[in-house]
Amino acid sequence: MNFQLITLFPEFIESYLSSGVLGRARTQEIFSVQTVNPREFAEGIHRSTDDRPFGGGDGMVMTLPPLVASVRAALAKTPNAKIIALSPQGKPWSETMVSEKLASGCQDFIFISARYAGVDQRLLALFDIEEVSIGDYVLAGGELPALVLMESLVRKLPGTLGHEGSASEDSFARGWLEAPQFTRPPIFENLTVPNLLMSGHHQKIQEARLIVSALITAAKRPDLLANGWNLLSAEQKSRLVRDLEAERWTEAELQPWGLTKDAVNELRQRLADLQGGQGVPSPSRKGRVAMGLVHYPILDKSKNIVATNITNFDIHDIARAARTYGVERYYLIHPMQDQRMFVERVLDHWRVGEGTKFNPSRKQALAAVRTASSLEQAVEDWGVPGAKLVSTHARAVPGAHSISYSGLRSTLEFGNEDVFLIFGTGYGLPDDFMLRCDYLLDPIKGSGKDDFRHLSVRSAVSVILDRLLGAW
């Protein structure tokens, strides 16, 4: 596998690659790395690679001529290379993406590591570039993210790790977090190693590690539980559920793993959800359901396109409604990173922070909540091909393909179609946005004579979910 890194600091890359796993793999020629410095293609006495942004603003922007020349120089060596730009606007890098890249058979990669306030946007129009992010935070440049991507790919290549099975047993490789590891001495300051790990019974050890992996994931990263569950064989699922129901895990057995009985009860409840509630359609309906609350584009009182702020009510109240009616995913959709980060901080508090002890049921309600920068990203993240987009509004929209509550409920129950419900904030979604959807759900109509329609979006969500998914 071959990598070319476009960077202003090639020495930074070389220093990281001089030791460790990557250093050994590079020496063994399992992969190769070359750096391309845009400064080599810059003109002028100072060889400047940045300039002030048009329209003003903080920071400097990397200029096109040296960047474009760098990319073309890299492509000249590997014409079929996959070009990846490290950017906070990119798709979050994950173990799934690592597997996809390896499965594609691609052996050549070009990583663009930007500095300053980023690159001139027109670079993306000149080349087929995939934008990738390693998280919702800001770094000084793209070199560290590029090395993260490189190591996650290289460590999967044969010969990189000391044991061929090591990569396949890592956290995320099987969808769940890896079970805790232990080594000598067996007792240290009165802390012991789980007895089973020293028994030599490898099959029982593997079975125990699977259960512990599920317990750890349910406790620390419940958002990953459904994905790992879907990767298990039918036999593994049956054995895992059977072991949990048999109460075979005592407090004494759990303690060395850093677990308690509460973790077992939490996992038992979550697996029950996955089998008959959240995470899979309920037995009474064939279609799957997800939903999103859009905060841009939104109309204000004067019919201008604006973005609205995400509130705590948007997160908590609607998540509880989604959980109650078995909605698989609830997305808070906003293009602004700081708004999405606000949601993630709230979710962290209730899902892995102090809030988990204060209100465990809230943790369950928030397990299905996700953020997305756009409707398209939310639908892609849900990963259900062919799902119908169904928009909601307080009034009819000329030209929209309307559907009644009974019609959509029947579609979900008998038509075997999956649905992504879309709710707006502010003064509603623009007409052109709704016209792009497959259906527009009929407006909620009360019994008042004056046709008053000013429900909060939280109230509207509850009414609509009960009409479509309620057991009545």
**Residues 244-288 pLDDT 10s:** 766 677 888 889 999 888 888 888 877 776 765 444 334 445 688
For 18, 107, 434, the CA distances from 408, given in Å and listed in that order, are 60, 46, 17
- What is the reported pLDDT for 172? 54
What is the per-residue burial (b if ≥16 Cβ within 10 Å, else e) of 427-457?
Answer: bbbbeebbeebebbbbebeeeeeeeeeeeeb
Single pTM value for the model: 0.55
The CATH 3.40.1280.10 portion of the chain extends over 2-154, 289-469
- What is the reported pLDDT for 280? 36
Q: Is 60 exceeded by the pLDDT of residue 165?
A: no
Residue 189 DSSP symbol: T
Residue 291 or 184, more confident: 291
Q: Which of 55-64, 67-76, 77-86, 271-280 has the lowest mean pLDDT?
A: 271-280
Highest mean pLDDT (candidates 18-22, 240-244, 255-259, 330-334): 330-334
Q: Which fold has domain 2-154?
A: Alpha/beta knot (3.40.1280)
Residue 316 and residue 313: Cα distance in Å, rounded? 5
- What is the reported pLDDT for 278? 42
CATH 3.40.1280.10 fits 289-469, yes or no: yes
The predicted model gives 95-105 an average pLDDT of 91
pLDDT tens-digit readout, 276-331 = 544 433 444 568 899 999 999 999 999 999 999 999 999 999 999 999 999 999 99
The predicted model gives 124-149 an average pLDDT of 93
Q: Is 60 exceeded by the pLDDT of residue 432?
A: yes
Confidence band, pLDDT 50/70/90 cuts, at residue 155: very high
Contact between residue 141 and residue 115 where contact means Cβ atoms under 8 Å apart: yes
- Percentage of the residues of the chain whose pLDDT score is greater than 90: 57
335 preceded by cis ω (within 30°)? Answer: no
Residue 214 and residue 2: Cα distance in Å, rounded? 36
Confidence band, pLDDT 50/70/90 cuts, at residue 230: confident
Residue 238 or 302, more confident: 302
The predicted model gives 136-159 an average pLDDT of 94
- What is the reported pLDDT for 336? 95
- What is the reported pLDDT for 207? 86
- Percentage of the residues of the chain whose pLDDT score is greater than 70: 92
Arithmetic mean of pLDDT over the chain: 88
The H or E element containing residue 187 is strand 187-188
Residues near 154 by Cβ (< 8 Å), separated by ≥ 6? 1, 21, 22, 25, 30, 31, 160
* Nearest in space to 468 (alpha carbons), one of 287, 208, 257: 287
- What is the reported pLDDT for 279? 40
- What is the reported pLDDT for 277? 43
Residues near 276 by Cβ (< 8 Å), separated by ≥ 6? 282, 283
